């Protein structure tokens, strides 16, 4: 989604979402958030098979991980990218998947747990648009339901500001391998530009580049927005494990 509020991703960001397999390959081994979520579900819903909805689910990495761990068999996800959802349907065929905008969705369903993970909220630059996201979550929250929202704070970009850092390796649908680097720069006090550079490891593949603009959350900012939207924060963490202190993660319920 772009800063002007259009229903399509910013053209600069669209590349990585069109290249769904490339995105999946880059993050498919990242499981620390799934491990944390599965423990949360076990503790908060010990005797239930909760209905779970993930906003901006992408290629369904998290939904697939929760299904594999037996956290729930009632999984749903929404995303604005048809390419991401196409891949998601192949990974979690039993999930209900919707192509829609997380700023204003009306599914006619209520859920026990609504997830907004993987820094997805940072793509919403407007505070008003983020408020619409929180309102959409509230409309779909079931009785006794919870929401989990996780964003990278400004601490998460300190290492890559103006200096490339290695993210890892990935491959595209043709098997071409890439080494991936990230570099960030501040555009404004609360806005950051992130560049991903995909360096091809073979001569028959081209190097790739993706640029996107994110809202740079300051520590505590997300909590303030959740409270302003009527949410009651039940739990706050600053990382999915002790050595990851650059996240703001909030478990909350709506009024």
pLDDT in tens, 89-106: 999 999 999 999 999 999
pLDDT band at 229 (very low <50, low <70, confident <90, very high): very high
Residue 77 forms part of a structural domain? yes
Nearest to 126, CA basis, from 104, 154, 108, 144: 104
On whether both 31 and 85 belong to a single domain, the answer is: yes
On whether both 50 and 70 belong to a single domain, the answer is: yes
Tokens of 132: 């619409």
Residue 68 forms part of a structural domain? yes
On whether both 142 and 112 belong to a single domain, the answer is: yes
Please tell me the predicted confidence (pLDDT) of residue 124: 95
Higher pLDDT, 114 or 203: 114
- Tell me the CA distances in angstroms from 119 to 155, 216, 235, one per residue in order: 13, 10, 18
On whether both 163 and 183 belong to a single domain, the answer is: yes
Owning domain of residue 205: 156-215
Residue 32 forms part of a structural domain? yes
What region, left, alpha or beta, does residue 86 occupy, with left being phi > 0 and alpha being psi -120 to 50 degrees? alpha
Please tell me the predicted confidence (pLDDT) of residue 44: 95
On whether both 127 and 39 belong to a single domain, the answer is: yes
Q: Mean pLDDT across the stretch 171-184?
A: 89
On whether both 74 and 182 belong to a single domain, the answer is: no
On whether both 23 and 136 belong to a single domain, the answer is: yes
On whether both 208 and 224 belong to a single domain, the answer is: no
Looking up residue 101, the CATH number of its domain turns out to be 3.40.50.150
On whether both 35 and 113 belong to a single domain, the answer is: yes
Residue 4 forms part of a structural domain? no
Query: Using one digit for the tens of pLDDT, what is the confidence trace for 15-67?
Result: 555 566 777 777 776 788 999 999 999 999 998 899 999 999 999 999 999 99
What's the pTM value of the predicted model, to 2 decimals? 0.88
The single residue listed with the structure tokens 């979690």 is: 92
Domain total in the chain: 2
Please tell me the predicted confidence (pLDDT) of residue 5: 42
On whether both 180 and 115 belong to a single domain, the answer is: no
On whether both 59 and 101 belong to a single domain, the answer is: yes
Rounded CA gap, 132 and 121, in Å?
Answer: 11
Higher pLDDT, 194 or 9: 194
Residue 94 forms part of a structural domain? yes
On whether both 199 and 234 belong to a single domain, the answer is: no
Is it the case that residue 107 has pLDDT exceeding 60?
Answer: yes
Residue 6 forms part of a structural domain? no
Residue 239 forms part of a structural domain? yes
Residue 65 forms part of a structural domain? yes
């Amino acid at each position: 989604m772009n800063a002007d509020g259009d229903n399509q991703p910013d053209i600069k960001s669209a590349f990585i979402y069109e290249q769904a397999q490339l995105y999946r390959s880059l993050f498919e081994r990242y499981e620390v958030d799934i491990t944390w979520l599965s423990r949360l579900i076990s503790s908060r819903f010990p005797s239930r098979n909760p209905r779970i909805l993930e906003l901006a689910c992408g290629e369904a990495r998290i939904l697939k991980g929760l299904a594999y761990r037996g956290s729930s068999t009632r999984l749903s996800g929404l995303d604005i990218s048809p390419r991401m959802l196409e891949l998601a349907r192949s990974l979690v065929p039993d999930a209900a998947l919707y192509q829609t905008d997380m700023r204003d969705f009306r599914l006619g369903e209520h859920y026990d747990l609504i997830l907004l993970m993987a820094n997805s909220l940072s793509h919403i630059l407007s505070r008003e648009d983020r408020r619409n996201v929180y309102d959409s979550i509230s409309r779909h929250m079931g009785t006794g339901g919870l929401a989990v929202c996780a964003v990278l704070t400004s601490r998460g970009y300190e290492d890559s500001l103006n200096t490339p850092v290695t993210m890892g390796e990935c491959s595209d649908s043709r098997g071409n391998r890439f080494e991936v680097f990230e570099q960030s720069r501040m555009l404004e006090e609360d806005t950051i530009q992130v560049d991903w550079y995909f360096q091809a490891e073979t001569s028959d593949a081209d190097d790739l580049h993706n640029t996107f603009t994110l809202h740079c959350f300051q520590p505590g900012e997300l909590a303030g927005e959740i409270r302003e939207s009527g949410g009651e924060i039940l739990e706050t963490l600053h990382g999915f494990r002790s050595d990851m202190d650059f996240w703001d993660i909030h478990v909350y319920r709506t009024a």
